[in-house]
């Protein structure tokens, strides 16, 4: 059973990576790249609760949650890609072996239930904070902004070197082109948030130094949720009387779920990894369907802590809400086309960066924010035109958003949705400031009656002569705020044209 579980973990992880990699322009396969995100019951429950709306794509998580009632936390042990990464880290990390065999501490176990209770309370008041904790969103995020860009950087460097080897050049070009067509992005993605997101992730992995699956044991609210539901599971662990009380199963249990009476395990904590089945020297341990009442099923959260958790949830949300005042006026950020009105958007967005990831394969304007849109908006997708632009013929961000924070828009609709408005900075723009022709912005403007037009006027150029110069201006009714003008402006540093969220349409 352990081998089967390991194969399952590897296959699901590879499937996760495959879905991640195939989510790229033009995305014709339409394979659900969000499958794992949807399978996270935490995402489903909290988004449904905070968003107060049923989204069909969230049903999968609810099904997995329902399956936990009879079958327990199979998701954690067999499927969860973060769990697999943590298991791998645990294999690599060398911990100090304890001389005398004592059960590792249970002191932190309650934290995950505390977090869950706080999150649910906050969600009741329509505030969604799972984005920091959800394991699948976390892994997708770190893959998007750190792991994949770093991988691309390395591969690009290798290609650059290979191109310099003369006799290999044409072969290398063939290989490069094959990579481009299959899994590799044309452009190197860049993300300002790569470093903080990666280090937070590294911290979670480094918890392996303490005990195995430290995150899962003590912090993961998804595990807590599935655990609470699998209290009365019928798929359970049995120990027959060949057991010699050697205690190897307790020592090797990655979830620390086996009690001091080795025949008992905690059904809330057990993730059915079957390690105990495989390590038992007398083959005394096995799993089968059985009556739910036997055993221990304690949810390690005292009533006092439950109350504290609810208070913490409310306090936390009030704090964050108070930190962002009047977003409509002060929020400077551009949201992707089809984003819900800001409040609703924040309720739904779990910061998985699926939109950011797929955007990087076309226009590349989306970046995870830091506090540009308030503390509430950390790591939400914002469009940064100087780094990329919203590609006119693309609607992929909405197509991969499984929570509906960004709506799926038909391409014809999306092409008309205004995400902002371009303005000329006449102290920077070349024709306005230097009286020379430029119009690169006009060249790239994708709307077919161009939103950038020009007046032909006589002006004194830099060489002192009077000449006819094309002075550009923006037609607000035509501009959709895609930001390609700001992106392509040939000035170094700040562009001569920039996009604000004026005219923004959020439906």
Shortest Cβ distance from residue 464 to other proteins (Å)? 15
Asked whether the beta carbons of 31 and 402 are under 8 A apart, the reply is no
Give the CA distances from residue 433 to residues 275, 426, 443, 452, 455, in Å, rounded to whole numbers and listed in that order.
Answer: 71, 6, 19, 17, 15
Shortest Cβ distance from residue 141 to other proteins (Å)? 23
Interaction between residue 30 and other proteins (CB under 8 A): no
C-alpha to C-alpha distance for 244 and 237, rounded to whole angstroms? 17
Piece in contact with other proteins (CB under 8 A), picked from 36-44, 250-258, 293-301, 358-366: 358-366
Interaction between residue 445 and other proteins (CB under 8 A): yes
Among 447, 459, 473, 505, binds other proteins (CB under 8 A): 447
Dihedral in degrees, nearest 10, Cα atoms 396, 400, 402, 404: -10
Longest alpha-carbon distance in the chain: 102
Shortest Cβ distance from residue 231 to other proteins (Å)? 50
Q: Which is nearer to other proteins, 326 or 449 (CB)?
A: 449
Per the omega criterion (within 30 degrees of 0), is the bond before 227 cis? no
Piece in contact with other proteins (CB under 8 A), picked from 100-108, 133-141, 264-272, 387-395: 387-395
- Mark residues 50-89: x for contact with other proteins by CB under 8 A, - for none: ----------------------------------------
Interaction between residue 478 and other proteins (CB under 8 A): no
Around Cβ 179, how many Cβ atoms within 10 Å?
13
Residue 463, helix vs strand vs coil: coil
Segment 150 to 189, residues that bind other proteins, using CB under 8 A: 156, 159-160, 163, 170, 173-174, 176-177, 180, 186-187
Q: Which is nearer to other proteins, 227 or 483 (CB)?
A: 483
Q: Is 94 exposed, middle or buried, given 0-12, 13-18 or 19+ CB atoms closer than 10 A? A: exposed
Shortest Cβ distance from residue 337 to other proteins (Å)? 16
For residue 257, how far is the Cα from the chain centroid?
Answer: 29
DSSP string, 213-237: THHHHHT-HHHHHHHHHTTT-SEEE
Shortest Cβ distance from residue 177 to other proteins (Å)? 6
Shortest Cβ distance from residue 450 to other proteins (Å)? 5
Shortest Cβ distance from residue 470 to other proteins (Å)? 7
Interaction between residue 259 and other proteins (CB under 8 A): no
Asked whether the beta carbons of 113 and 301 are under 8 A apart, the reply is yes
Paired strand residues for 468:
458
Interaction between residue 336 and other proteins (CB under 8 A): no
Shortest Cβ distance from residue 160 to other proteins (Å)? 4
Residue 374 backbone zone (phi > 0: left; psi -120 to 50: alpha; other: beta): left
Among 30, 241, 260, 449, binds other proteins (CB under 8 A): 449
Q: Which is nearer to other proteins, 425 or 437 (CB)?
A: 437
Interaction between residue 343 and other proteins (CB under 8 A): no
CA dihedral sign of residues 460, 461, 467, 471: negative
Asked whether the beta carbons of 429 and 497 are under 8 A apart, the reply is yes
Piece in contact with other proteins (CB under 8 A), picked from 96-104, 306-314, 375-383, 433-441: 433-441
Enumerate binding residues for other proteins (CB under 8 A). Answer: 25-26, 156, 159-160, 163, 170, 173-174, 176-177, 180, 186-187, 361-364, 391-394, 430, 434, 436-440, 442-450, 454, 470, 488-490
């Amino acid at each position: 059973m352990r081998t089967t579980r390991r194969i399952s973990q590897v296959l699901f992880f590879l499937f996760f990576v495959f879905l991640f990699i195939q989510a790229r322009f033009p995305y014709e396969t339409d394979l659900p790249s969000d499958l794992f995100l949807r399978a996270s019951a935490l995402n489903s429950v909290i988004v449904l609760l905070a968003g107060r709306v049923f989204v069909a794509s969230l049903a999968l998580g609810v099904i997995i949650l329902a399956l936990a009632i009879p079958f327990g936390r199979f998701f954690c042990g067999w499927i969860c890609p973060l769990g697999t990464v943590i298991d791998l880290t645990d294999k690599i990390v060398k911990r100090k072996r304890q001389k005398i065999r004592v059960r590792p501490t249970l002191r932190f176990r309650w934290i995950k239930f505390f977090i869950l209770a706080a999150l649910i309370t906050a969600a009741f008041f329509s505030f969604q904070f799972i984005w920091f904790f959800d394991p699948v969103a976390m892994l997708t995020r770190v893959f998007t902004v750190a792991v994949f860009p770093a991988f691309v950087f390395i591969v690009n460097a290798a290609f650059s070197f290979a191109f310099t080897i003369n006799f290999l050049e044409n072969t290398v070009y063939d290989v490069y082109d094959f990579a481009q067509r299959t899994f590799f992005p044309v452009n190197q993605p860049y993300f300002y948030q790569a470093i903080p997101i990666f280090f937070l992730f590294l911290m979670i992995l480094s918890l392996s130094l303490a005990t195995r699956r430290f995150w899962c044991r003590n912090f993961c609210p998804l595990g807590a949720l599935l655990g609470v539901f699998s209290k009365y599971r019928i798929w359970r662990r049995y120990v027959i009387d060949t057991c010699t009380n050697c205690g190897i199963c307790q020592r090797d249990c990655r979830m620390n779920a086996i009690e001091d009476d080795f025949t008992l395990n905690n059904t809330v904590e057990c993730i059915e990894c079957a390690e105990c089945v495989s390590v038992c020297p007398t083959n005394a341990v096995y799993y089968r369907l059985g009556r739910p009442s036997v055993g221990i099923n304690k949810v390690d959260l005292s009533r006092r802590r439950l109350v504290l958790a609810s208070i913490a949830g409310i306090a936390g949300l009030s704090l964050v809400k108070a930190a962002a005042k009047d977003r409509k006026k002060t929020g400077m950020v551009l949201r992707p086309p089809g984003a819900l009105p800001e409040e609703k958007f924040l309720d739904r967005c779990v910061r998985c960066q699926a939109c950011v990831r797929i955007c990087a394969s076309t226009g590349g304007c989306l970046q995870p924010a830091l506090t540009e849109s308030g503390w509430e908006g950390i790591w939400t997708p914002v469009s940064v035109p100087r780094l990329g632009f919203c590609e006119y013929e693309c609607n992929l961000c909405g197509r991969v958003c499984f929570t509906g924070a960004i709506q799926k828009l038909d391409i014809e609709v999306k092409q008309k949705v205004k995400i902002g408005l371009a303005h000329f900075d006449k102290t920077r723009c070349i024709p306005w400031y230097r009286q020379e022709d430029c119009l690169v912005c006009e060249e790239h403007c994708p709307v077919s009656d161009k939103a950038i037009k020009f007046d032909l006027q006589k002006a004194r150029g830099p060489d002192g002569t009077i000449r006819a110069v094309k002075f550009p201006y923006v037609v607000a009714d035509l501009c959709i705020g895609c930001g390609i003008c700001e992106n392509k402006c040939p000035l170094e540093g700040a562009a001569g044209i920039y996009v604000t969220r004026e005219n923004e349409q959020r439906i």
